[in-house]
Amino acid sequence: MSTREELTGNLTAYIDNELSELEARRIEEALRLDPELAALEQKLRTAVKAVEALPAPAPATAALRRAVLQRLDEKTALQRLRGFFTLPRLVPVAGLAAAAAITVVVVGRPVDKPGLDDETLFVAQNIEVLEDLDLIGLENPDDLDVVANLHELEVRP
């Protein structure tokens, strides 16, 4: 005997008289034995009658045919997008993208600072003072204290 799924799948063909005599007998026997399957058959028959009762569609007019054919000829969004991304447009864009990527890499890279010892760093920070000392002829910063206290060394009569 057929499974329930097979019987359910063949109900529409049974209603439309598309089954062989043997298959139709199997369905009829199953309908007598299974009230759920019989209820499903009645629902399908009602649905078929409702579809048959619908009015026939109106014949297509020439204007409708033209509109449908025009819509078929229109480019889809994907076709328009493919037309936009052509080689003459992609080459300059790819060049700009490469230039932007190189700029990001170069600017984003940390600047290498040369290794400075403490004395060189001190000289760089105090270059103005050292230039002033050189201007007045002092070789040692301690000599600046002597210059600052010259008034104490003056002799008074």
Give 83's Cβ-side CA count (13 Å radius). Answer: 6
Number of domains, the chain: 2
Regions of the chain short of the pLDDT cut 70:
1-2, 110-114, 132-138, 141, 144, 147-148, 150-151, 153-157
Of 75, 105, 129, the position where a domain reaches its end is 75
156: DSSP letter:
-
pTM here is 0.38
Dig out the tokens for 156 from the structure: 């008074």
Q: Are residues 10 and 62 in the same domain?
A: yes
| CA gap 69, 24 in Å, rounded | 44
Give me the pLDDT at residue 42, please: 94
**Cα–Cα separations (whole angstroms), residue 43 to 19, 40, 50:** 19, 5, 11
Give me the pLDDT at residue 45, please: 92
Give me the pLDDT at residue 72, please: 80
Q: Are residues 127 and 67 in the same domain?
A: no
Q: Is residue 139 part of a domain?
A: yes
Q: Are residues 67 and 127 in the same domain?
A: no
Give me the pLDDT at residue 79, please: 80
Give me the pLDDT at residue 41, please: 92
Q: Are residues 124 and 54 in the same domain?
A: no
Give me the pLDDT at residue 1, please: 46
Q: Are residues 57 and 126 in the same domain?
A: no
How many Å is the maximal CA-CA distance in the chain?
151
Which residue blocks in the chain are alpha helix, DSSP H? Answer: 4-15, 21-33, 35-53, 62-73, 77-84, 87-108, 118-125, 127-135, 143-148, 150-153
Task: For residue 30, give the nearest of 3, 66, 65 by alpha carbon.
Answer: 3
* CATH at residue 32: 1.10.10
Domain containing 148 equals 118-153
Q: Is residue 82 part of a domain?
A: no
Give me the pLDDT at residue 25, please: 92
Give me the pLDDT at residue 150, please: 67
Percent above pLDDT 90 for the chain = 19
Q: Are residues 63 and 127 in the same domain?
A: no
Q: Are residues 4 and 71 in the same domain?
A: yes
Give me the pLDDT at residue 49, please: 92
